[in-house]
Amino acid sequence: MKKNSMISALILAGGRGSRMGHVDKGLQPFRGTTMVQHVLERLAPQVGNVAINANQNLAAYAALKVPVWPDETTGFAGPLAGLEAGMRHCATPYMLSAPCDSPFLPGDLAARLFHALQSQGADVALAVTQEAGMRKQPHPVFCLVKTALLPVLSTYLAAGGRRVDGWYAELIVAEVLFDDSDAFRNINTLDELHSFDSARAPRRLQDVVSCLSDYDPDALPVRQAQQIIRDFVTPIRSVEKVALRSALDRVLAADIVSPISVPAHDNSAMDGYALRGADLRPDGPTTLTVIATVYAGRPSELVPAAGECVRIMTGGVMPAGCDSVIPQEFVANVGVGETDISIDAGTIRTGDNRRFAGEDLMAGSAALKKGKILRPADLGLLASLGIAEVPVQRRLRVAFFSTGDELRSIGETLDAGCVYDSNRYTLYGMLTRLGCDIVDMGIVKDDPQALEEALRNACENVDAIVTSGGVSVGAADYTREIMARLGDVTFWKIGMRPGRPLAFGQINSNGKSAYLFGLPGNPVAVMVSFYFFARAALLAMMGADAPLPLLRVKSAGAIRKKSGRTEYQRGILSVDADAAQQVAITGSQGSGILRSMSEANCMVVLHDEMGNVAAGDMVDVLMFEGLV
Ligand X SMILES: Nc1nc2c(c(=O)[nH]1)N[C@H]1C(S)=C(S)[C@@H](COP(=O)(O)OP(=O)(O)OC[C@H]3O[C@@H](n4cnc5c(N)ncnc54)[C@H](O)[C@@H]3O)O[C@H]1N2
Distance of closest approach, residue 447 Cβ to ligand MOO, in angstroms: 23
- Give Cα 168 distance to the centre of its chain: 35
The residue among 316 and 469 lying less far from ligand X, judged by its C-beta, is 469
The Cα–Cα gap between 314 and 626 comes to 32
Burial environment of residue 549 by CB neighbours within 10 A (0 to 12, 13 to 18, 19 or more): exposed
Contact positions toward Mg ion, by CB under 5 A?
Answer: 472, 474, 477
**243 among annotated binding-site residues:** no
Residue type, 93: P
Q: Which of 99, 316, 505, 520 forms a contact with ligand MOO (CB under 6 A)?
A: 520
Size of the chain in residues: 628
- Contact yes or no for 288/274 (Cβ under 8 A): no
Q: Residue 470, annotated ligand binder?
A: no
When the beta carbons of 355 and 565 are compared against ligand X, the nearer one is 565
User: What is the C-alpha R_g of the chain?
Assistant: 33
**In whole angstroms, what is the distance from residue 231 CA to residue 504 CA?**
12
For ligand MOO, the closer of residues 498 and 518 by Cβ is 498
Q: Which of residues 549-578 bind ligand MOO (CB under 6 A)?
A: none
> CA-to-CA distance for 142 and 7, rounded, in angstroms?
14
**522 contributes a contact to ligand MOO by CB under 6 A:** yes
> Considering CB distances under 5 to 8 angstroms, the limit depending on partner class, which of Mg ion, ligand X, ligand MOO, none binds residue 523?
ligand X
Q: Which lies closer to ligand X via its Cβ, residue 316 or residue 501?
A: 501
Contact status: 499 vs ligand MOO (CB under 6 A): yes
Contact 532, 499 (CB under 8 A): yes
Sort 307 into a burial class: Cβ within 10 Å, 0-12 / 13-18 / 19+: middle
126 is in an annotated binding site: no
The answer on whether 65 is annotated among ligand-binding residues is: no
In this complex, which beta carbon is closest to ligand X, that of residue 178 or of residue 504?
504
Checking phi first, is residue 564 left (phi over 0); if not, alpha (psi -120 to 50) or beta? left
For residue 605, list its beta bridge partners. Answer: 568, 620
- Based on the shown chain and the rule CB under 6 A, indicate whether residue 555 belongs to the binding site for ligand X: no
Separation between Cα atoms, residue 123 and residue 141, nearest integer Å = 14
- The smaller minimum CB distance to ligand X, of residues 472 and 510, is found at 472
Angstrom distance (rounded) from CA 480 to CA 471: 6
From 187, 191, 201, select the one nearest 27 (Cα to Cα): 187
Q: Which of 42, 397, 480, 500 lies at the binding interface for ligand MOO (CB under 6 A)? A: 500
Residue nearest to ligand X (CB): 521
Residue 323 in marked binding region: no
List the x/- string, 371-410, binding to ligand X by CB under 6 A. Answer: -------------------------------x-x-xx---
Between 321 and 474, whose beta carbon lies closer to Mg ion? 474
Question: Is 14 flagged in the annotation as binding?
Answer: yes
Cα 443-446-449 angle, rounded to 5 deg: 95
SS3 of residue 209 by DSSP: helix
Query: At closest approach, how far in Å is the CB of 497 from ligand MOO?
Result: 5
Interacting residue ranges for ligand X, rule: CB under 6 A:
402, 404, 406-407, 419, 421-424, 468-474, 477, 498, 500-501, 520-523, 525, 591
> Can you say which residues are annotated as belonging to the binding site?
12-14, 25, 53, 71, 101
Interacting residue ranges for ligand MOO, rule: CB under 6 A:
497-500, 520, 522, 525, 591
> Can you say which residues are annotated as belonging to the binding site for GTP?
12-14, 25, 53, 71, 101
